[in-house]
Amino acid sequence: IETAGNSSNSGAVQGISMRDLSLTAAFVSERASMCNLAVQKCALFPLAWNLPCAMKQRLWLEVHALVLLIWVDVLLGVVFGYFVFTHAESIVQQAGEMCQQMQLTHIVETLQWFNHLPGGVKLNTTITQRMSSILTTAVLLFEQCLSATQPL
């Protein structure tokens, strides 16, 4: 799906991850099983004509509860989908900035951990500290370059 309305990133293509697809499939499967359960309970109505009144009421309330849950899920999904659809560009922009900052922070923290790695894992502490310092400086410089080249 190409980002709409973004002329500076005309070649940028956004995709859907497999994790998102599997989460969506699991959600749809759960809701489909809920609909199936509601249909099964509705199918019990003709068989329940000779049951006591309390059992009929319980069956009726269970069906209504399932139908209500389904409708609430649908309405919340529509409202949330509309919100995401109308604010998609700002959500994607802020999520991208957060991911970029978290990724750079993680790299710097990893390099600092590498700098203070306990003995026995590395052979030469002086070279390791120097390399860690150089890579940390390069990553921080890269972060400054990225923030300076961000479109306004």
Separation of alpha carbons 34 and 98, rounded Å: 36
Assess whether 20 and 76 both reside in one domain.
Answer: yes
Q: Which domain holds residue 64?
A: 10-86
- Amino acid 54: pLDDT: 86
Separation of alpha carbons 33 and 44, rounded Å: 17
Separation of alpha carbons 114 and 140, rounded Å: 16
Separation of alpha carbons 32 and 35, rounded Å: 5
Assess whether 82 and 104 both reside in one domain.
Answer: no
Percent of the chain with pLDDT over 70: 80
Q: What is the pTM of this model?
A: 0.43
Per-residue pLDDT tens over the stretch 41-68? 888 778 777 888 888 888 888 888 888 8
Q: How many domains does the chain have?
A: 2
| Residue that is last in its domain, among 42, 61, 86 | 86
| Residue that is last in its domain, among 45, 64, 86 | 86
What is the residue-averaged pLDDT of the chain?
76
Assess whether 17 and 77 both reside in one domain.
Answer: yes
